Amino acid sequence: MQSVAVEEIQQELPILNVENLSVIRSGKIVLKDINLTVHKGEFVGLVGPNGSGKSTLLLAILGVLKAQKGKIDIYGNRPLSRKLYGRIGWVSQAAANLPREVRITVRELVKLGTLNANNMFSWSDNGRSQRVDQAIKMVGLEDVENIDISRLSGGQRQRAVIARALATEAEFILLDEPLVGMDRNARNSLLKLLDQLCHDSGKTILMVSHDLTAIRQTAHRMVFLEEEIRFDGPTETFPDLDELAGLRGIEPVHGEAHSHQHDHSKED
Ligand SMILES: Nc1ncnc2c1ncn2[C@@H]1O[C@H](COP(=O)(O)OP(=O)(O)O)[C@@H](O)[C@H]1O
Ligand SMILES: [Mg+2]
């Protein structure tokens, strides 16, 4: 019973806690005093103009870039901690641009996601095939699972990469512009899939996108970043484009604190 209690306490811990984070790249402040807390099951949309530090924030969370100031906790651990192994999935902007000369099928690619330092040389399957099946099914690529990834469309390839992240059983999935290069249908079905992952599978998602319309359809919460966080609040309180222009360069506005009275009900 004790382990149950411990697990419950762990679930109350935020998945991500970023405190006063500043990151400098090439001598220039890219992120300044970022505070961000993400809880289990949230779908957070991270938006902001080009060069505003969105990818930098994800890379800092992953531990690839070092913080100049502040701290980052993921499940109560520092980035790159061994305890985080397999718990974080990352789908990059470049996912759809996997090199064409790599000859690998969808299934093989997804299976790579199930390999780790512990099982790489193990003969036993340990449910890996089942996880691969499940992941492929979740992204709807069953029909092309034995096809070379080079023959897929951009949208399909993006899904294959997401399936690989799912096969790792990552609980916290970071996506950097996954919608780039996808047509409307592929985009909508990917958003629907991500939404299901949050609601039905208890995954937590932090997704960068510059496609405001698309991300607002799905994210529960929006964060607008431009060196600093200028907005952080429920999606229904996210300002419209005119106000957004006004927000840039002025004090951050918090959705919880200011209840904006905008009618977004006709926007869908
Ligand atoms: N490899 C790098 N080295 C130095 N500066 C970089 C590098 N990559 C990005 N930057 C700078 O960091 C800032 C934020 O970039 P980035 O996080 O990629 O923005 P976004 O993802 O929001 O478009 C930009 O000013 C960019 O020029
Ligand atoms: Mg970027």
Q: How far is CA 22 from CA 60, 89, 97, 256, in A?
A: 10, 23, 30, 24
Query: Hey, what domains does the chain have and what are their CATH numbers?
Result: 1-83+205-268 (3.40.50.300)
Give the residues surrounding ligand 1 with Cβ less than 6 Å away.
25-26, 30, 48, 50-56
Ligand 1, atom 24: closest residue by C-alpha: 51
Angle CA 99–179–204, to nearest 5: 105
Ligand 1, atom 18: closest residue by C-alpha: 55
Q: Give the pLDDT mean for 33-41.
A: 96
Q: Locate the ligand 1 atom nearest the alpha carbon of residue 225 and give its number.
A: 22
Pocket test for ligand 1, best of 21, 23, 25 (most atoms within 8 A of CB): 25
> Can you give the pLDDT at residue 173?
93
Mean pLDDT, the chain, rounded, equals 83
Amino acid at position 131, single letter: R
Residue 229 CA to ligand 2 center (angstroms) comes to: 16
Find the distance separating the first CA and the last CA of the chain, reported in whole Å: 46
Q: Give the pLDDT mean for 223-233.
A: 95
Ligand 1, atom 6: closest residue by C-alpha: 25
At 81-121, the pLDDT tens digits run: 888 888 898 887 665 566 667 789 999 999 988 876 555 55
CA dihedral 256, 77, 164, 67 (to 10 degrees): 70
Cα 82 to chain center, whole Å?
A: 20
Distance separating alpha carbons of residues 161 and 155, to the nearest angstrom: 10
Distance separating alpha carbons of residues 26 and 34, to the nearest angstrom: 19
Q: Which two tokens stand for residue 242?
A: 């005119």
pLDDT band with cut points at 50, 70 and 90 for residue 219: very high
* Smallest-distance ligand from the CA of 94: 2
